[in-house]
Amino acid sequence: DVKVTQSSRYLVKRTGEKVFLECVQDMDHENMFWYRQDPGLGLRLIYFSYDVKMKEKGDIPEGYSVSREKKERFSLILESASTNQTSMYLCASSLTLHQPQHFGDGTRLSIL
């Protein structure tokens, strides 16, 4: 089974802090994704990566950046956290563009 692991289940940070969310997958998947999930808005794609050191903006990249230095790890960075970035963050991976996406358990991030 595919295992996608997000480093934290719950995280509380302060406004202005730099925040790192980590995601690791163990199945040598090419593609990795970061989403945020908000009530009434569903899941929205922030960034994705289709190879090491490659990244593409999703629908809502503002205020975020990403890093993929190794194939198995995809990091989401909040450069200067703001209260409107309080949300559930979900990481996913897929073997190829045509295969199902597999999700981690999510990180519930609160910015105070």
Q: Hey, is 84 helix, strand or coil? A: helix
* Distance, CA of 45 to CA of 91 (rounded, Å): 10
Our CB check for another protein shows the closer of 17 and 56 to be: 56
The answer to whether 29 and 43 are in contact (CB under 8 A) is no
Which of residues 8, 11, 22, 43 is near another protein by CB under 8 A?
Answer: 43
Which of residues 26, 51, 56, 79 is near another protein by CB under 8 A?
Answer: 56
63 binds another protein (CB under 8 A): no
Which of residues 19, 21, 34, 48 is near another protein by CB under 8 A?
Answer: 48
Which of residues 28, 42, 69, 84 is near another protein by CB under 8 A?
Answer: 42
Our CB check for another protein shows the closer of 17 and 110 to be: 110
The two tokens of residue 20 are 């790192």
Our CB check for another protein shows the closer of 28 and 42 to be: 42
* Distance, CA of 37 to CA of 106 (rounded, Å): 9
102 binds another protein (CB under 8 A): yes
* Distance, CA of 31 to CA of 55 (rounded, Å): 10
Our CB check for another protein shows the closer of 42 and 69 to be: 42
Angle at 21 between CA 16 and CA 46, to 5 degrees: 85
